[in-house]
Every structure is written in C-alpha cells, then in structure tokens.
Amino acid sequence: MAGLVVMLSALGLFGEWFGSGPRAIPAPARPPARRAVSSYDAVVVGAGPTGLAAALLLRERGARVAVVEREADPARFDPERAEVCLVDGRGGVVFEQLGLCSQLAAVGVAQRDLRTASVTAQEGVSAPSRLPTVRLEPTQPADARAGAYWIPREALVGIFDQAVAATAPAADDPRRPPIVRLYGRELGALALASAETGWALNLTAAAGARGADGGGDADDGGDSQTEQVIAKLVIGTDGMRSAVRETLRAVARAGGLGDSFSVVSRRAASAGLRQKLLKLPPSFALSPDGATMPERDVSYAIVSATGVAPELRLWMLPQARGERGRTAQLITGADHLIWARRTADDAARFLADAFPHVPIGPAQVGEDEMRRFAESAGTLLPNPQHCTHAALTCGALVGAALAGDALHAFPPDLGQGVNAGLQDVAALASCLDDHGVTFRAQPPAAPSDVGAQAARRPDALACALARYGISRAKEAAALTKLVQLGHPLQYSQAVPFGAIRRAAWRANFGARLALARTLGPRLNFFPSVFALVQNPRLSYSEVLRLAHATTRSMLVLAALSALVLAGAHRLALAAVAGM
C-alpha cells in the first residue's frame, strides 16, 4: 500500500535572460506576402491546458489573441493521451484568476476525497483507504489537498477550450476582444519580420488533423495555401519538441547571443520507460464474477499475478464521471514482453495470463479497443529537460516566451507537468501586470496613477519578458533537478541494484520525515523532495533549497553521531583498561 500511495501522488497525469534590458536583434529577410494575412497582439502556439490558459490570461489584459493548434478539436478524447491529471494549488491559481474553479470541481475528484485500493490475485480487491497526510508548518499549509483535483486530460482541456470559445467583446469593455481559434492549422514557419512589425507565422492545414470538423474559427479558404499571421508576442506551448523554441534559438544565434535556448537534459531512472493506456468501458468489473465495480473516487492499482517478471501494474486513477468509462495506465520497461504482443489475440492472452484475477479481454473492453491497445507503441518517458532561456525580446514591443513542455519536460514522477505549465502562464501574467503592460488603449488617468504611468513605458513588455525569463528558467532548472531526485524507481522497472536502490530511497524518505517531525525546520530538517513538492506554497527553487539544506543537516548529524560514538568507545576502552 505504501508503494500505491507514492505512485498516486506522482501520477497526476505523464534562466537567466540573456540581457539586462531590451536588445534589438537583426531580423532575417521578410517572408514573402501570402494570400491571407491577419494581425494579432499575441499568438499562442499549442492548445493544451498551458496554451489555452495563456490565451485567456492575455485576453484579460486586452490582447487580441489567436491560438494555433494542429488538432481540429484539442479537447477530444484520445486514448493515446487519456491521462488523468492532478491539478494542485499551483495550477489552481490560474483557475481562480479565470473564475473556472467551479468547472474544475464539477468534473474532478477532490484529492481530499481520494481513496486507494489494490487488486491482487491473492487478496482480490482491498478495502479502500484514505491517503495519509503530513502537516509540517511552515512547509505545509493547513490542508494542501483542499484545492487539488484529479481530472482527465480531455476534460481539463475542455474547460479552457469552452472558456476560449465563449469569449466575446465585452459590452462594457471593448478592450477585451474574442480569442480566435486557428485549429486544424500547423505551424509551417516562424520568422522575425522585424523588431517593429513582429513575428510572421506561416500556417497550413494540418495533414491528418483529428477531431470535430469546424474546430477553428478562422476561414482558411478551403485549400492548403499558406495563411500568414503577424503578431507582436508569440507564446510557445507546443511541447517538448517545440518549433517555437528552435526558432528562438536560431534568432538569438543570428543576433550574436550564442547558443541561447539550448536544452539541458538530465538522467533519470524513469526516463526511457514506455507507457500506454487501455480504455475500459463503464461496465468494467474488478472481479471475475462481475460483482465488484470500481468506485469513482477510488484509485486502483491492479497488480499482476505472481510469476510475471518484472511485475506489471495497471493504474486506474479516479474519475468523477463514468459515462466514457475509465482508463488503465501501464508503465514499464521498453523491453518488457508486453511490447512484443502487437496483435489483439496476443495482447489478450498476455493480459489474461498476467491478470487472471481481473477480466481484461476483448469481451470486456471490445475487439477494437484491444486491437488499438496491442498495436499502440505507446510513448516514451523523456529525460528531465529544460530550456536555458524562457523569453526573448526583439525590441521594446516585440518578444516571445516559452511555457509548459516547451520550457520543461520530464517523466510523471512528481505529477507536476500540468501544474508547472499553468504556473508558467500565471507568472507571465503577473510579470505583465507588475510592469503595467496592456495591449489596448487606456482611458486617461491621473498622473499619480502608477499603473497608468507604467503602462505608458515604451519598454514595459521587454521588461516584463526579461523578468519572466529570469524567474521561469530558474524554476525550470530546479524542477528538472527535483524530478531527477524525486522517486524515479516507483514503476517496478528493472534497473541495476534495483532492490538496494529502492530500499535506500525508502530509508531516506523515512529518515527525512522522522527528522523533520522531531528536530523540525528550525534545525533545517525537512521531508523528502517527494513530500515537499506537494506543498503549492513552495516554489521549485525553494523545494530544492530545503532538500539540500536537509542533506547538509543530515551529514552534520551523522558526523556528530560518529564523534559521539567514537568518544563513547574510547571511554569504554579506558574504563576496561582501568579495571
């Protein structure tokens, strides 16, 4: 059960700026004019939770925003990406700012209500139990779980997408224009037209874009001709292989800024593992007799029978609504035998042998789903990686920023993927506010109005991006280090000296928790990274600092203990010699 608790907490599905002020960058030749050209204050590339949240927050600040996404319907159910995410207090800040907390609560399972259970061949389905809580002030808020919710990824994207679709010019404030959804479009090229004009984005109809027809709001003319978009600000939230990031790297290099926007990769024991998901119907039962049905607020770990090596686990994370059924997540080594079962019959036989105590076959999940599961190659968990820079300024009024997986990507060991991305866009909005950046004309204000004065600064956007770049690149680097130090051995994968390393992790986790409870923060003793990151009040840099402080304190304590034992040993020897 301890392993289940650790895995549950982790599976909430998974820099410095290069100048002290605005710096003009030589622009390449202006791209040739295209058939259709539209202009926006900001373009967000990528319509995941991070990108859609960024668009909404920019629109709140008066920007004319367009969102580019290759999928025609980014909120559609995709069994290859149907993870269940844990949105904690870090991500919850964005929901509060956008007034979407009620929607999150309506379709999510509150972490404080979560119960866990295991399903084994020996004991069947265990009685659900609640997760233990640890409160260690000042490192832990009164109830860190109060604002945390488990929610399927498609439902999470759907909340933001519906909010984007509902935007319309406000009758009482025309400075808040609607967000244009350029769905079903693929970013063909991104270039800096000039430090005054901004960025030129060439878009084409995405080949094989999946989803509902008519997902986009702009007309592409019914053909595949390139559509050009001009924007002052570009936000790249287009994943760990970000095309926006690569463009920023090339522009920075052309401007004589060296190898900026390079990616730093760290090693982790969970990197290289492969995951895929099996869609289960609403009628799926946990027992052969069909009597035990899964409860919506319970997370189940279905453990393979004895003799299956290495051990397999199917994780059924909680889901508030069961109309579509649930998904079972499998994470294992890329060399496991299950990846060689590429036909529906082979996969069905393998699952029947591995999980004889749970009916998982074509009769339960359907022939089509079993075939899809067998043919799926899954996805590889990446090495923890982060970009060295998070923002670029190309003059006082033109710039770009990275957020989400484009800035940092990692395995789901700590469950911070969604939360880190939402925290990025919340930080960007905060930097824009602190520097008085607005995108629409403001009404006259009194000279004493500091905000209005800041808004009139010609370099306000550049200063805001500079601050964002410094803070978020630092946080991205700290986060990838935390993932490396967290709990990368929780997936039962085969690694050298795996039993010893897992035992060492458990001993370290227990020792830090015991020392934090007994000696406390005053003596610089804090819980492990895995526990500290659950506190949304702590930044990732603070979590890393506290972890390192605890390590130093433990080394000092060990040295003092060794000296005391050595002294006691000498006294004992002296006492024996004097007898």
Give the pLDDT mean for 327-336: 91
**Structural domain includes residue 142:** no
Query: Helices 540-578 and 460-485 meet at what angle, rounded to 10?
Result: 40
Q: Looking at the 3D structure of the chain, how many domains does it have?
A: 3
CATH number at residue 184: 3.50.50.60
More confident residue, 306 or 503: 503
Question: With bands split at pLDDT 50, 70 and 90, how would you rate the model's confidence at 454?
Answer: very low
More confident residue, 104 or 491: 104
339 and 313, same domain (yes or no): yes
**Structural domain includes residue 128:** no
Of 117-126, 154-163, 199-208, 291-300, least confident by mean pLDDT is: 199-208
- pLDDT of 495 higher than 90: no
- pLDDT of 448 higher than 90: no
233 and 330, same domain (yes or no): no
Among 499, 429, 492, 498, which residue's Cα sits nearest to residue 465? 429
If DSSP codes are grouped into helix, strand and coil, which group holds residue 150? strand
Q: How many helices, marked H, and strands, marked E, lie in the chain?
A: 15, 22
Q: In this structure, are residues 410 and 14 in contact, taking their beta carbons and an 8 Å threshold? A: yes
End of a domain among 365, 380, 395? Answer: 380
Question: With bands split at pLDDT 50, 70 and 90, how would you rate the model's confidence at 308?
Answer: confident
Sign of CA dihedral 481, 484, 485, 490: positive
Question: With bands split at pLDDT 50, 70 and 90, how would you rate the model's confidence at 10?
Answer: very low
Of 34-43, 445-454, 551-560, least confident by mean pLDDT is: 445-454
Secondary structure in 3-state letters for 424-463: HHHHHHHHHHHCCCCCCCCCCCCCCCHHHHHHCCCCHHHH
374 and 431, same domain (yes or no): no
7 and 108, same domain (yes or no): yes
User: Strand 326-332 vs strand 274-280: parallel, antiparallel, or unpaired?
Assistant: antiparallel
**Structural domain includes residue 143:** no
Among 40, 75, 566, 491, which residue's Cα sits nearest to residue 269? 491
**Structural domain includes residue 51:** yes
316 and 439, same domain (yes or no): no
pLDDT at 275: 93
Q: In this structure, are residues 183 and 47 in contact, taking their beta carbons and an 8 Å threshold? A: yes
191 and 209, same domain (yes or no): yes
- pLDDT of 20 higher than 50: no
End of a domain among 485, 509, 531? Answer: 485
**Structural domain includes residue 119:** no
- pLDDT of 384 higher than 70: yes
pLDDT at 573: 86
Q: In this structure, are residues 493 and 270 in contact, taking their beta carbons and an 8 Å threshold? A: yes
**Structural domain includes residue 133:** no
Instruction: Return the ∠ at Cα 170 (arms to 168 and 174), rounded to 5°.
Output: 110
Among 306, 69, 50, 27, which residue's Cα sits nearest to residue 184? 69
358 and 444, same domain (yes or no): no
Sequence-distant (6+) residues with CB within 8 A of 227 are 34, 35, 36, 38, 182, 185, 202, 203, 204, 218, 220, 221
DSSP string, 218-281: S--TTS---EEEEEEEEEE-S-TT-HHHHHHHHHHHHTT--STT-EEE---TTTT-EEEEEEE-
Other C-beta atoms closer than 10 Å to the C-beta of 421 total 28
Q: In this structure, are residues 455 and 436 in contact, taking their beta carbons and an 8 Å threshold? A: yes
pLDDT of 224-279, one tens digit each?
A: 568 999 999 999 999 999 999 999 999 999 988 888 999 999 999 999 999 999 99
Tokens representing residue 266 in the block:
């760290």
pLDDT at 220: 40
pLDDT at 126: 94
Query: Which domain, by its residues, includes 230?
Result: 2-113+151-268+383-485
pLDDT at 574: 85
**Structural domain includes residue 134:** no
**Structural domain includes residue 512:** yes
| Residue 124 identity | G
100 and 89, same domain (yes or no): yes
30 and 162, same domain (yes or no): yes
198 and 227, same domain (yes or no): yes
Secondary structure in 3-state letters for 164-175: HHCCCCECCECC
Distances (CA, A) of 515 to 134, 225, 347, 527: 13, 64, 47, 8
Give the pLDDT mean for 5-22: 37
End of a domain among 338, 362, 380? Answer: 380
Of 74-88, 208-222, 347-361, 467-481, least confident by mean pLDDT is: 208-222
178 and 240, same domain (yes or no): yes
Which residue matches tokens 């956008």? 98
Pairwise CA distance, residues 233 & 230, whole Å: 9
Pairwise CA distance, residues 136 & 5, whole Å: 19
| Residue 526 identity | F
87 and 234, same domain (yes or no): yes
- The strand pairing partners of 84, in sequence order, are 152
pLDDT of 363-372, one tens digit each?
A: 999 999 999 9
